Amino acid sequence: MATFFSDWYYLSIRSIKQIWRPLLALIPSLFIPLFFFVVNSTSLSAFSKVPGFPKVSYRDFIAPVALFTAVFFSSGNAGIELAQDISNGYFKKLLIMPISRLTIILGRLTEVAVQAVMQGSIVLILLLATGVRINTGILGLLAIFAMLILFAMAWSCLSMITALRTQNVRLVQSMFVIVFPFLYLTTSQAPMNLLPPAFRLFATYNPVTYVIEGVRALVLNSWSAPAIWQGFLVASVLFVIMVSFTLSSFNRTLK
Amino acid sequence: MPDNIIEVRNLKKTYPGGTEAVRDVTFDVRAGEFFGFLGPNGAGKTTTINMLVNLVKRTSGDITIDGLKLEEQPREIYRRIGFAMQEVGLDETATAREMLELHGRLYHLPKARIDSQIDKLLKLVELEKVADRFTQTYSGGMRRRFDLALSLIHEPKILFLDEPTQGLDPHARQLIWNHLRDLNRDGMAIFLTTHFMEEAEALCNRIAIMDKGEIVTEGTLEELLEKHSAKSLEEVFLSTTGSNLGDEEVNLNASDPYARARS
């Protein structure tokens, strides 16, 4: 058992180093969420005056989305790196080591969690600097990161499953665009009651909506908001389902 | 210690598309032996070696490594084997030293032993001066040499080598040959697949030639020359494998998902 944890640790360290190698690769996933935040909070600020909009500024309304997006955008890297390992043959070297194969996936998930905290923290500091406040305090902040980490790990599994099933780096990279419909067919830009009916239907069935609403409730509301536990529930269920599928794909790849 | 360090019985591999890559292959490798596995492209050499190290699932047959059944104790076997593959798979975002350290950790070696192994192996493959450079900056020859070092970090009893000198210039090839001779002299059993006749002649104690998924002949160099009334291993090779141009390789690789990914 001790070797299981030490294998997980060393594989995690290897994966975590890949986050900043090269350092420049970090910039887009930090810049783009902030870019959208600045552009949207400026150009759509009048939206907060529309009847039915919550009693908050538009900047505060979309601040949780910037936090979420920073994590969302970066969670695909684990799959890309896994696909690279497979395509260049390094993955095979790992397979013939006296380690549990589960630790290979856990190492990648740990990388996702660390990157989520790193990128989320940078975006959070910048949001706080612009005057955004977290209503649920320090505990709420921890809850936000817990929810984001769970979701990021679940979402990263999608790219890892693609990597394991196709062994194709380009295909895994192209999966990135799926982020956009999942991000925009939600309440990220407007509350549910102001969405057109068809859009509302998509948003209702889109799990991302519940995670965004959960983070938003932790930023804007109090602990009594049902959106918080709903967000945790959705992120946790997604995590369990996606990790199970990833492990199943992993086992299938070896046959 | 068993006399045979590798025992293979009735090994078969049929890929999902129906291609029979390996057909009822049986052979032994003795402890401390340098065993050459020759064959034209597509003969089934790489599939066989991948089955021996558990990277490809066999259709049927038994594999015993150092007295252990592959299906029963794969991790124990992984501790005893090293494998330098045909494709030099390196972590491009890591330095050579980092990779060696990681592999030492994953083989659960004590830190002091990892450090001494790193120094010894980097010296052995003449990469001490570039040990802290990212492996993506290495030339083809450096990558091959480093891959060999990586496969030796845990001092395996058996070293599997799949075309280890392919694409190397004569100097780099000679360097690797010398290292392999030294390792074998120190008692390491080496299983080498190659289609370079001179490589097998220069290194191997015993040679098996494979064609179309079957072993067509086996013995020491002298035995093979006598058995086939030949003057060279190349003559033995040509007389036993005919004019196979390796067209099957395309089909075999098409059944390998990793090969599909590379293409």
Are residues B47 and B22 in contact, defined by beta-carbon separation less than 8 angstroms? yes
Q: Pick the closest to residue B190 from B150, B162, B165, B222 (CA basis).
A: B162
| Plot region of B171 (φ>0 → left; ψ -120 to 50 → alpha; else → beta) | alpha
pLDDT interval class at B242 (50, 70, 90): confident
Sort out which chain B residues have CB atoms less than 8 A from A167's CB and list them: 257-258, 260-261
A17 with B78: Cβ contact below 8 A: no
Chain segment B24-47, per-residue pLDDT in tens = 999 999 999 999 999 998 899 999
Name the A residues in 46-85 with CB < 8 Å from any B CB.
84-85
pLDDT interval class at B248 (50, 70, 90): very low
A93 with B150: Cβ contact below 8 A: yes
pLDDT confidence of residue B108: 96
Name the B residues in 103-122 with CB < 8 Å from any A CB.
103, 105-108
Chain segment B158-179, per-residue pLDDT in tens = 999 999 888 888 888 898 899 8
Angstroms from B216 CA to nearest CA on chain A = 28
- Residue linked to tokens 């494709």: B87
> Can the peptide bond before residue A98 be classed as cis, meaning omega within 30 degrees of 0?
no
Angstroms from A231 CA to nearest CA on chain B = 36
Q: Which amino acid is at A197?
A: P
Sort out which chain B residues have CB atoms less than 8 A from A99's CB and list them: 75, 106
pLDDT in tens, chain A (255 residues): 779 999 999 999 999 999 888 888 888 888 888 898 899 889 988 888 999 999 999 999 999 999 999 888 878 889 999 999 999 999 999 999 999 989 999 999 999 999 999 999 999 999 999 999 999 999 999 999 999 999 999 999 999 999 999 989 999 999 888 888 999 999 999 999 999 999 999 999 999 999 999 999 999 999 999 999 999 999 999 999 999 999 999 887 765
Chain segment B177-213, per-residue pLDDT in tens = 998 999 999 999 999 998 889 999 999 999 999 999 9
CA–CA gap between residue A125 and residue A123 (Å, rounded)? 5
- Residue linked to tokens 């032994």: B28
Name the CA dihedral angle for A69, A70, A75, A76, rounded to a multiple of 10 degrees: 80
Q: Pick the closest to residue A20 from A107, A119, A91, A105 (CA basis).
A: A119
Angle between helix axes B96-106 and B140-151 (nearest 10 degrees) is 20
